[in-house]
A and B are shown apart, each in its own frame.
Chain A
Amino acid sequence: MSHLSERPAAPVVGRTLPHESASLHVSGAALYTDDLVGRTAGVLHAHPVQSPHAHARVTGLRLDKALEVPGVVRVLTAADVPGVNDAGVRHDEPLFPTEVMFHGHAVCWVLAETLEAARLGAAAVEVDYEPLPSLVTVREAIEAESFQGAQPVMVRGDVAAGLDRATRVFSGEIEFPGQEHFYLETHASIAQLDENGQVFIQSSTQHPSETQEIVAHVLGVPSHAVTVQCLRMGGGFGGKEMQPHGFAAVAALGAALTGRPVRLRLNRTQDITMTGKRHGFHASWRVGFDDEGRLQALDATLTSDGGWSLDLSEPVLARALCHVDNAYWIPDICIHGRIAKTNKTSQTAFRGFGGPQGMLVIEDILGRCAPRLGIDPAELRRRNFYTEGQTTPYGQEVRHPERMELTWQAVLDQADLAARSAAIAEFNRTHDDVKRGLALTPVKFGISFNLTAFNQAGALVHVYKDGSVLINHGGTEMGQGLHTKMLQVAATTLGVSLDRIRLAPTRTDKVPNTSATAASSGADLNGGAIKNACEQITQRLAEVAAARLGVPAASIRFRDGMALSSDPQEGNHADPAEPHGISWEDLVVAAYFERVQLFAAGYYRTEGLHWDSTIFQGHPFKYFAYGAAAAEVEVDGYTGAYRTRRVDIVHDVGDSLSPLIDIGQIEGGFVQGAGWLTLEDLRWDESDGPTRGRLATQAASTYKLPSFSEMPADFRVSLLEHAHEEGVVYGSKAVGEPPLMLAFSVREALRQAAAAFGAPGTSVHLDSPATPEAVYWAIEQARAGGDTSVIEHAADHASRPAVPRDGHRVDGHGNGRDGASVDGTGAGHASATRAHAIPTDLERGAYPATPPAQVKR
């Protein structure tokens, strides 16, 4: 067992503990960024002027009337920027644009004594726009060939040969929308200057270091002049990985120019209309199976809807490609990826980061093809699982594939699947107006940032003379329980109780150059760094203890607030009954007087990773997280309305660091995934009318999140047993993202329930999100004979490029989302495109504050 993953006796990790801030949460005492406004004197409030066009040139900007509004102090525009007028790492996101790229794009910001004055001031700013043609849907962008960034190709084997070998070949298309993060706390920043002109920003950010870098380059100052702190976030989910930077920069610029604290908090509508979301995707595919349903080949083109700027679209696409296989061995495969450039918000990270989108493609294929193959969908899935020794299409060996099989079997048992499937068949036979479906889906999700460099972390651990401990690390807390786990890691490594340890808020002046708290990697990376820092200290303390106890330092163990000799036979004491150890407090005091350093900076980097994005090959992931879910739904044939009756999940979190936290992540991720797949409906105005490009669902009243009524009535989650993960902190595994994808089980159960309204063996297409309306049309489709949009091809010319047509609307009752058909890709063009060139001549302020921009994660 590796040193990193080995657990000592009686560890604090693994204990079931509530969230470290739970008592502050429930009593309303926990502070979030915007709660600080009332505690800060003389604050100015910022309000944006938002574009009413999807795409337009700004030809005039007149501020006089705004400045006349009582209380307005200043209007921030491009002319005010001392450094670089850009909020992104790719230098394609002007902070104050001269060309607005989406409906709601902020042109400038008004600062005023009150939010009301700032709002009125913003309304009084006069902007002249020259409207320009816009692309709103991904299909429009494909037709116009409006793409941005890299167009990677992931190839293994010979997809044409694979399709020729296959005896059953199908082709089809799928298009599915993005998802709004809807963290309950909207974006917020408060910026202040200190007496030296240094900038201090409190920001709701998942990536304080990058917020710091962007603020520095906007202000044209070095990074050491900017400090970013994040107390905690009211949810992030990826939406605060890249998106906070520009808002923090506006606040910082305002503070720098006025000398007063500036608060920028988006209201919900501003947040939804201005910040990026999960990418929607379009995919066209051609798949081949053998007679037993074994996948032979997959040829697909995935086009993500990137919105107006690149943001994180390239790494999101990379992860989508790396997860098209999900848990399945596909011998010959060729996947093309591209990013549509559209006049929408700049789509960004969202829990799963492209993984869910890639997996949705294959799960949709299997769900639609299973009835055509005459194979039970769960059996079809299982039959295609990876086995030992197989590799992913990008060349990484699949570690622990047996865990997929184990979790699957565990879910079958836990959910009592056989008996319930029979009961459901009987229920469906005896009910005409209501049907049930029960579906199982697997998850295999790669853990680590795709980009190797981001897989590093730092921590700072202080032991004070009284024995109390203060820890600090580069990760941010957004509800995922990272801080709780980090406290447990520190307590375990130092062998002291949790009440001896305090964790201080995340700050860039404590731990520099941090990676985003993202990619589910927070506990792996920061846990490694904290453990490392604590071990530096225990090593030094062990010397002190060893000398006192007369034993070798190597035999000293830290546990229960004591430094103990692990071998009581050794040493020089006469009475074996005497406790062979020294208390933590005494040891710390002794060490201080011996002039032993009682603090340490810890560091961790994940070993063994490499990734070549140009050929799309490598070993990008430390390991895979596995899980399986079984969901049962009931669907009403009159309306398409449904209920999730029961969900069983078995998920692999390694040896859990904190079971209550991990189960919370699994349940919460699952419900959020189900929201994306079934309920949450981003509707953009795709008409040619005056509000083209406007998000029609821009408020909580129109964009509906799951509420308690969407929670599975019976929800059973268990953690895979005996799941120690070698080489990861205390044998644990990451948990933030993977469970979201367990929600495919709900979508597939809805598909099966809808299909049950038709003849046995009916295949249906289900629109995404599977709202009651979408389910209703799927039921009507089943009643009318099933899905005709998946085309089966005669085996002998299976590999010939064919254009899948979008014909799934059997009844003509479109929901307006199905535009013209788009060409799919043919087989055979397998040459890898080079990744987007790295810009070298970056326009900078006085100091180059950020490293050369590159593909992230």
Chain B
Amino acid sequence: MTATVNGQAQRLDVPAHTTALDWLRGQGLTGAKEGCAEGECGACSVLVARPDPAGGTRWTAINACLVPAAALDGQEVLTSEGLGTPDAFHPVQYEMAVRGGSQCGYCTPGFVCSMAAEYYRPGRVTAADRAGGDAELGEDGELGEDGELGENGFDLHALSGNLCRCTGYRPIRDAAYALGLPEEGDDLARRRTEPAPAPVSTRYATETGSYARATSLREAIDLLAEHRDAVLVAGSTDWAVEVNLRGARPPFVVGIDRVPELRELRIDADHIELGAALSLSEIEEGLAGRVPLLDQLFPQFASRLIRNAATIGGNLGTGSPIGDTPPVLLALESGVVLASAQGDREVPLSEYFTGYRESVRRPDELIRAVRIPLPLSPVTAFHKIAKRRFDDISSVAVGFALRVEDGIVTTARIGLGGVAATPIRATRTEAALEGRPFSREQVRAAAEVMRSEGTPMDDHRASAAYRSAMLGTALLRLHAEHLNREGNPA
């Protein structure tokens, strides 16, 4: 196996389960650091050359601590060392250095990589070019939707997966907002116009574990059939935590993140199909606002670094009761398409989960896609309750999709996360709403029902009492926001 790192081909010869981070550091590239080994701090952030929808390359920032080194076979990687040197700074490095963006400096190479990815994002448009774009505070000091968007089009959410314990972030924000656009003759900018490296059919076997990359659905299914103990890995954002923190050492890993059949995004007349191995970032870009409820979800889902790798199939594949897509996909009445040697079968998501981290998926099956039926219900909201505003795991997550006609709720679909062993539908609340006026009184009554949905627990994220309270207030908030939007003060 080989990978191109900072423009140079390097042999990839590592023990099984080595992370890309450990491999890079072992190569002497110690710029990327380990701060957590679980995707939370971004100190390990590096750039990889990924295909973009136009056939070119997108410099994509990811957490090197979560990627198996073997998954880099045939790929191109850039680290902070490759962006520039103390004698020849990259613009991002320059701004960070002169504005006090580093104190202890441990987080800095990671910030630099995340920032560089946003610097090279093709869609980044400066305020001057943005219709009505205004990153300033509004009249009454209100931070508009653009509060986290710089004049230079820099989206601060690009840094939401990078933690800094020293600076308090203000100088880092200033550095990000001071960046211009890539200049003529910037090799990395030019690299974007050429295709990204194609996936390689990697087969890597060691005594302590093997890695195989599937490059077709057929191959993935066959590998799954051959190796009963195989673990499927897509973005590896969930799986790597098991490896790094809990010592999981599976004998056989199948990488499915580049399987073309799992990477299709189709909008048909009666449904949208999202390939299981599409990352959240790719779905966000591909749907381009087509599903407003998902647009509310994306910024709330982990960080940009994670969303660049995390797949929708993986989010369902974990079977976690606190995954964020299930409440939304339940509200959208989605189906899960499972593929095996026998072909496809579709299961409604509401019947997919059978218990704590259990599902109807057979060992020989994998998730091929998620289907969202059309048309969409118009009144939607995603409420995520967590300690931190961004990049935190939900204590409670609620997805709403309602249809209100002539003031009457005709359909109500509510998906809940964090209040039971699996994601669930709030069916009693749905019943309490449907067929009744969408009025303050009815909503209050339904909110009381919603408070008692599920079986919330006390844990370190939240108390059971708070979780229940949040179910009730979510509906009240949905209603208030609906009235506000209708121009009808609450």
Q: Is the CB of B389 within 8 A of A700?
A: no
- Which residues from A are CB-within-8-Å of B389? 641, 643, 707, 709-710
Which residues, 6 to 33 on B, are CB-close (under 8 Å) to A?
15, 25-26, 28-33
Which residues does chain A contribute within 8 Å of B474, judged by CB atoms?
A: 638
Within 8 A of A (CB), among B120-166: 137, 140-141, 143, 147, 156, 159-160, 162-166
For A663, the closest partner residue in chain B by CB is B100
CB-based nearest B residue for A19: B102
Complex contact B104–A667 (CB within 8 A)? no
State how many angstroms separate the Cβ of B39 from the closest Cβ of chain A. 8
Bound-state CA distance A705–B38 (Å) is: 14
Quick one: which of A230-260 are within 8 Å of B by CB? 232-235, 237
- A26-B89 contact given A479-B103, A639-B385, A704-B392, CB 8 Å threshold: yes
For residue A275, give the distance in angstroms from its CB to the closest CB of chain B.
15
State whether the Cβ of A846 lies closer than 8 Å to any Cβ in chain B: no
Count chain B residues whose beta carbon lies closer than 8 angstroms to a beta carbon of A. 93
Is the C-beta of A689 less than 8 angstroms from some C-beta in chain B?
A: no
Bound CA span A715–B33, Å: 29
Q: Report which residue of A114, A232, A711, A773 has the largest number of chain B beta carbons within 10 angstroms of its beta carbon.
A: A773
- CA separation between A19 and B109, bound complex, in Å? 15
CA distance A24 to B97 in the complex (A): 9
* Residues A23 and B463 in contact in the complex (CB < 8 Å), given A184-B41, A710-B388: no
* Given contact pairs A26-B109, A714-B137, A184 touches B466 in the complex (Cβ within 8 A): no
**A contact residues around B171 at 8 Å (CB):** 664, 667
Determine if B40 is an interface residue (Cβ-Cβ < 8 Å): yes
Q: How far is the CA of A669 from the CA of B29 in the complex (A)?
A: 31
Closest residue of chain B to A683, judged by CB? B460
Q: Does A850 contact B (CB under 8 A)?
A: no
Stretch at the interface among B49-57, B80-88, B260-268: B80-88
Q: Decide if A599 is an interface residue (CB 8 Å cutoff).
A: no
**How distant is the Cα of A612 from the Cα of B445 in the complex, in angstroms?**
66
Q: How far is the CA of A178 from the CA of B100 in the complex (A)?
A: 29
Given A31-B30, A116-B15, A645-B141, A664-B104 contact (CB < 8 Å): no
Contact across chains for A232 and B476 when beta carbons are under 8 A apart? no
Structural contact, A184 and B80, CB atoms closer than 8 A: no
Among A682-727, those with CB < 8 Å from B are 683, 696-697, 699-702, 704-715
In the complex, residue of chain B having the shortest beta-carbon distance to the beta carbon of A684: B460
Q: Are A708 and B169 in contact (CB under 8 A)?
A: yes
The answer to whether B100 and A700 have CB atoms under 8 Å apart is no
In the complex, what's the smallest C-beta–C-beta distance from A29 to chain B, in angstroms?
Answer: 6
Q: A696 contacts B36, CB within 8 Å?
A: no
Chain B interface secondary structure, helix, strand, loop or mixed?
Answer: loop
Interface presence of B93 (CB below 8 A): yes
Residues of A within 8 Å of B163, CB to CB, are 184, 700, 705, 707
Flag if A25 contacts B108 (CB, 8 Å): yes
Interface pair B390/A707, CB less than 8 Å apart: yes
B366 within 8 A of A: no
Give the chain A neighbours of B458 by CB distance below 8 A: 816
B247 adjacent to chain A (CB < 8 Å): yes
Residues of B within 8 A of A237 (CB): 165
B100 touches A18 (CB 8 A): yes
Q: Give Cα distance in the complex from A568 to B173, angstroms.
A: 50
Q: Does A652 contact B (CB under 8 A)?
A: no
Q: How many residues of A contact B (CB 8 A)?
A: 89
Q: How far is the CB of A239 from chain B (nearest CB, A)?
A: 10
Known: A26-B89, A709-B389, A815-B466. A479 touches B35 (CB 8 A): no
Q: Are A699 and B36 in contact (CB under 8 A)?
A: yes
Contact, CB under 8 Å: B35 / A813: no
**Beta-carbon contact of B165 and A672 below 8 Å:** yes
Interface code B258-276, partner A: CB below 8 Å = 1, 0 otherwise?
Answer: 0000000000000000000
Complex contacts, A233 vs chain B, CB 8 Å = 104
How many angstroms between the C-alpha atoms of A704 and B32 in the bound complex? 21
The reply to whether the CB of B470 lies closer than 8 angstroms to some CB of chain A is: yes
CB neighbours (8 Å) of B490 from chain A are: 432-433
Chain B nearest CB from A246 CB (Å) reads 21
**Residues of chain B with a CB closer than 8 A to A123's CB:** 247
A639 B473 Cβ-Cβ under 8 A: yes
B385 cross-chain contacts in A, Cβ below 8 A: 639, 641, 772
Cβ contact of A670, chosen from B34, B86, B168, B460, cutoff 8 A: B168
- Enumerate chain A residues within 8 angstroms of B165, measured Cβ to Cβ: 181-184, 235, 237, 668, 672, 705
The answer to whether the Cβ of B430 comes within 8 Å of any Cβ in the partner chain is no
Contact in complex: B245, A699 (CB < 8 Å): yes
Pairs across A and B, CB under 8 Å, 7 listed: A27-B84, A479-B103, A668-B165, A701-B38, A708-B162, A711-B170, A773-B466
Question: What 15 new A-B contacts, CB under 8 Å, besides A699-B38, A813-B469?
Answer: A18-B97, A19-B105, A22-B102, A26-B112, A28-B79, A29-B31, A184-B164, A233-B104, A479-B103, A479-B166, A638-B474, A672-B168, A681-B460, A706-B168, A777-B466
A contact set with B: CB distance below 8 Å: 18-19, 21-32, 35, 38-39, 114, 116, 119, 123, 181-186, 232-235, 237, 267-269, 423, 432-433, 478-481, 638-639, 641, 643, 645-646, 660-661, 663-664, 667-672, 679, 681, 683, 696-697, 699-702, 704-715, 771-773, 776-777, 812-816
B interface residues with partner A (beta carbon < 8 Å): 15, 25-26, 28-38, 40-41, 43, 79-81, 83-86, 89, 92-94, 96-109, 112, 137, 140-141, 143, 147, 156, 159-160, 162-173, 241, 245, 247, 383, 385-393, 395, 458-463, 465-466, 469-470, 473-474, 476-477, 480, 490
Ranked nearest first, the 6 interchain pairs of A and B with the lowest CB-CB distance are A28-B31, A479-B104, A234-B106, A25-B105, A700-B40, A671-B168
